[in-house]
């Protein structure tokens, strides 16, 4: 294949919707056998760009060529060369896995014999063969993502476009998904992926950082990391948010941000900054597990470049940051836990979705509920919210019984589902009025709570705008405000940050902490393992069974039975299979820009891995024993429970 051949060539691409310029003079190229990542805040223009590349949307200006075809002049010719996986599943819920794949095979005119062989190949390498007779509607979110990818690949496209393909997908399924993508590179498929996960952006060959429709920067992850001048002093502690507040007042630096159980301090003088932090935390008797200097990650770059810019813009336009919610929680009627669960069980026919689950949640606690797709998390929440009757067992929410007092529960909780529960064809103000009416708010009290909701969502001055045009971050905060209009003592958040960019996630968690400080109890499910670190305690559920319960720090200390080796080297995906085959390595997977390996014998594994990296020519490299992350813990516990 010619060296200068471009699978995708975008030149001056522009898209305007009336007075809004969604994509502004965009130009980039993607080569065969390359993964090109597009990252940016909500509303940056990522999805609009992909829709123009697929000829779903017509550009206002500019050109797009896919595999040599001009998309505007020959859209059908271009479509034959590509496959597109949108954020919404293009699956038929009543058809089985096999029937969905066969439908797409006929749609792409794949010859019957060739199609049969291709289907078997795709089912094998996606690990979906055992589920080929299951209806698509009964699959977990991760399995639906893999099935949609199979359907897109049935005709082996030259170009694959993926719009946030792993949103709402657990870490185990995300690892499987990326394993499949790397296999496609061996067939010279060009892949463009938009993602809200910065660790996934680290795995792309090149990355474009998009904001307000314009490319701010394009390059390899290493080149983009070089955009941030200075080093990161990382402080690891279970009191990360407390440390963040202390350092923000006392330390002079470029920026300070919380990343899970780490505080990242960007500084041009890491030696003095590290010493200053050590002395400061010692004087205040705040414990930390580790202080180290490291290079910035892509998320550091994202937050540094885009974070300051967007915070300044919001504060200038709205004259505010997110205000502290005026929530006055009702006293727990029995002065006991906010939530109690005993032997809670839910069956659907012969299928046991939740199996004898037990836990308590204290008033004012942030309680994280984790598990793979289909583990039973949402089912537990629906039973606690009075939306599903338990098959067996008991529970209380704010002192009300989940079996007999569901209406009382509903009036004392806030519930925010995965889809935000907003009405897109209503304005911001109309959505707030609607929920105020549901909760029985009237007159001056309603007006007071409306003002609070607008302030909390950051939408002052936008009350008359249609909800459909809001970015994901604004929709998210508006949905949270609507769920809390009646000042509930307990709030249930079911994957509230799925598909939301890192900046919006951070602001949302600031809001969660402010609510918890008022005594409000927060019950949250998430697939972002960094967010699990923010919870006071977490529970892990798998196939309906509770397999772990405790603080993040305790679980990582007590339940991780093997050492984790952090491996940094060029093109880590190329050596992954070889490292996994080593006798001293239990498992290895991509982790951000590198690899995390689980060691059977850490000293032996260190030596074997170094020898193997030398043989592979993967230099320069670094290998060291590191503290386990929540993702390491999650994967380890799920694999242990699967045996």
State whether residue 200 is helix, strand or coil.
Answer: helix
pLDDT at 316: 38
pLDDT at 312: 45
Q: Which band of pLDDT confidence, cut at 50, 70 and 90, is reported for residue 331?
A: very low
pLDDT tens, 369-388?
Answer: 999 877 889 899 999 999 99
State whether residue 642 is helix, strand or coil.
Answer: helix
Is pLDDT at 414 greater than 50 in this prediction? yes
Is pLDDT at 85 greater than 90 in this prediction? no
Is pLDDT at 28 greater than 90 in this prediction? yes
pLDDT at 571: 83
Q: Tell me the average pLDDT of the chain.
A: 86
pLDDT tens, 144-186?
Answer: 878 888 888 888 789 999 988 887 778 888 888 888 888 888 8
pLDDT at 491: 94
- Residue 407 CB coordination number (10 Å): 9
CA 321 to chain centre: 24
pLDDT tens, 473-502?
Answer: 778 888 888 998 999 999 999 888 877 778
Q: Report the alpha-carbon angle 299-302-306, nearest 5.
A: 155
Is pLDDT at 100 greater than 50 in this prediction? yes
- Which of 136-140, 603-607, 614-618 ranks highest by mean pLDDT? 603-607
pLDDT at 78: 86
CB 158 within 8 A of CB 127: no
- Residue 1 CB coordination number (10 Å): 9
Region 424-432: what's the mean pLDDT? Answer: 92
Report residue 638 as tokens.
């799920």
pLDDT at 168: 73
Percentage of the chain exceeding pLDDT 90? 42
Choose among 259, 347, 133, 296: nearest CA to 533: 259
pLDDT at 531: 87
Quick one: DSSP state of residue 135?
Answer: B
Identify the weakest region by mean pLDDT among 96-100, 301-305, 488-492, 538-542.
301-305
Identify the weakest region by mean pLDDT among 41-55, 124-138, 553-567.
124-138
The pTM of the full predicted model, rounded to 2 decimals, is: 0.84
Q: Which band of pLDDT confidence, cut at 50, 70 and 90, is reported for residue 329?
A: very low
Sign of the C-alpha dihedral computed for residues 557, 560, 561 and 567 taken in this order = negative
Percentage of the chain exceeding pLDDT 70? 94
Is pLDDT at 213 greater than 80 in this prediction? yes
pLDDT at 177: 81
DSSP string of 146-184? HHHHHHHHTT--SEEEEESTTTT--HHHHHHHHHHHHHH
Structural domains for the chain: 8-224 (3.40.50.300), 229-295 (3.30.70.260), 339-554 (3.40.50.300), 561-627 (3.30.70.920)
Q: Which band of pLDDT confidence, cut at 50, 70 and 90, is reported for residue 310?
A: low
Q: Which band of pLDDT confidence, cut at 50, 70 and 90, is reported for residue 469?
A: confident
pLDDT at 435: 92
- Residue 557 CB coordination number (10 Å): 14
Region 545-555: what's the mean pLDDT? Answer: 94
Q: Which band of pLDDT confidence, cut at 50, 70 and 90, is reported for residue 309?
A: low
Phi, psi of 459 (to 5 degrees): -115, 25
CB 30 within 8 A of CB 204: no
Region 570-584: what's the mean pLDDT? Answer: 86
pLDDT at 334: 53
pLDDT tens, 236-294?
Answer: 998 888 999 899 899 888 888 888 889 999 999 999 999 999 999 999 999 888 999 99
pLDDT tens, 440-451?
Answer: 899 999 999 999
pLDDT at 419: 66
SS3 string, 557-596, reads HHCCCCEEEEEECCCHHHHHHHHHCCCCEEEEEEECCEEE
Is pLDDT at 589 greater than 50 in this prediction? yes
User: Which residue in this structure is represented by tokens 């014998």?
Assistant: 601
Region 52-78: what's the mean pLDDT? Answer: 91
Query: From its phi and psi, is residue 10 left (phi > 0), alpha (psi between -120 and 50) or beta?
Result: beta
């Amino acid at each position: 294949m010619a060296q200068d051949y471009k699978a995708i060539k975008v030149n001056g691409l522009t898209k305007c919707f009336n007075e809004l310029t969604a994509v502004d003079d965009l130009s980039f190229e993607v080569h065969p056998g390359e993964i090109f990542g597009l990252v940016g805040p909500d509303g940056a223009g990522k999805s609009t760009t992909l829709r123009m590349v697929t000829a779903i949307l017509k550009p206002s200006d500019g050109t797009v060529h896919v595999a040599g075809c001009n998309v505007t002049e020959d859209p059908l010719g271009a479509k034959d060369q590509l496959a597109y996986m949108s954020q919404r599943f293009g699956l038929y819920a009543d058809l089985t896995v096999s029937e969905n794949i066969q439908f797409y095979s006929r749609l792409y005119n794949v010859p019957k014999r060739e199609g049969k062989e291709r289907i078997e190949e795709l089912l094998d390498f996606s690990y979906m063969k055992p589920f080929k007779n299951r209806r698509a509607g009964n699959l977990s979110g991760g399995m639906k993502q893999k099935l949609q990818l199979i359907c897109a690949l049935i005709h082996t496209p030259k170009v694959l476009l993926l719009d946030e393909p792993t949103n709402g997908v657990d870490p185990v399924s995300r690892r499987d998904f990326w394993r499949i993508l790397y296999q496609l590179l061996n067939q010279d498929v060009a892949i463009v992926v938009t993602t809200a996960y910065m660790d996934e952006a680290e795995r792309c060959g090149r990355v474009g950082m998009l904001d307000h429709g314009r490319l701010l920067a394009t390059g390899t992850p290493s080149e983009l990391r070089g955009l941030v001048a200075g080093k990161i002093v990382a402080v690891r502690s279970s009191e990360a948010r407390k440390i963040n507040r202390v350092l923000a007042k006392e330390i002079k630096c470029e920026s300070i941000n919380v990343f899970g159980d780490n505080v990242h301090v960007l500084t041009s003088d890491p030696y003095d900054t590290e010493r200053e932090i050590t002395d400061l935390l010692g004087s205040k008797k705040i414990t930390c597990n580790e202080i180290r200097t490291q290079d910035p990650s892509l998320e550091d770059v994202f937050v540094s470049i885009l974070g300051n810019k967007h915070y300044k813009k919001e504060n200038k336009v709205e004259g505010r940051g997110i205000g502290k919610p005026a929530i006055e929680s009702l006293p727990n009627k029995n002065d006991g836990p906010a939530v109690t669960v005993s032997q809670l069980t839910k069956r659907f026919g012969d299928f046991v979705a939740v199996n004898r689950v037990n836990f308590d949640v204290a008033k004012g606690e942030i309680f994280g509920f984790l598990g793979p797709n289909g583990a039973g998390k949402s089912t537990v929440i629906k039973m606690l919210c009075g939306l599903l009757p338990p098959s067996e067992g008991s529970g209380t929410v704010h002192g009300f019984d989940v079996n007999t007092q569901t209406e009382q529960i509903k009036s004392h909780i806030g519930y925010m589902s995965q889809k935000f529960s907003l009405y897109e064809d209503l304005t911001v103000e109309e959505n707030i009025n609607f929920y105020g009416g549901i909760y029985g708010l009237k007159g001056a009290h309603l007006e007071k709570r409306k003002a609070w909701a607008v302030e909390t969502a950051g939408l002052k001055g936008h009350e008359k705008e249609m909800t459909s045009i809001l970015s994901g971050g604004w929709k998210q905060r508006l949905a949270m405000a609507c769920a809390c209009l009646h000042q509930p003592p307990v709030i249930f958040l079911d994957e509230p940050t799925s598909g939301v960019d890192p900046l919006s996630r951070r602001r949302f968690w600031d809001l969660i902490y402010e609510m918890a400080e008022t005594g409000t109890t927060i019950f949250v499910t998430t697939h972002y393992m960094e967010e699990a670190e923010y919870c006071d305690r977490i529970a892990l559920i798998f196939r309906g069974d509770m397999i772990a319960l405790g603080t993040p720090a305790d679980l990582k200390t007590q339940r991780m039975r093997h050492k984790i080796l952090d491996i940094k080297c060029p093109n880590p995906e190329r050596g992954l299979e070889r490292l996994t085959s080593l006798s001293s390595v239990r498992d290895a997977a991509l982790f951000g820009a590198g690899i995390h390996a689980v060691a059977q014998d850490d000293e032996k594994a260190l030596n074997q891995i170094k020898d193997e990296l030398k043989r592979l020519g993967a230099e320069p490299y670094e290998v060291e024993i590191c503290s386990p992350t929540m993702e390491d813990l999650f994967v380890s516990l799920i694999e242990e429970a699967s045996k």
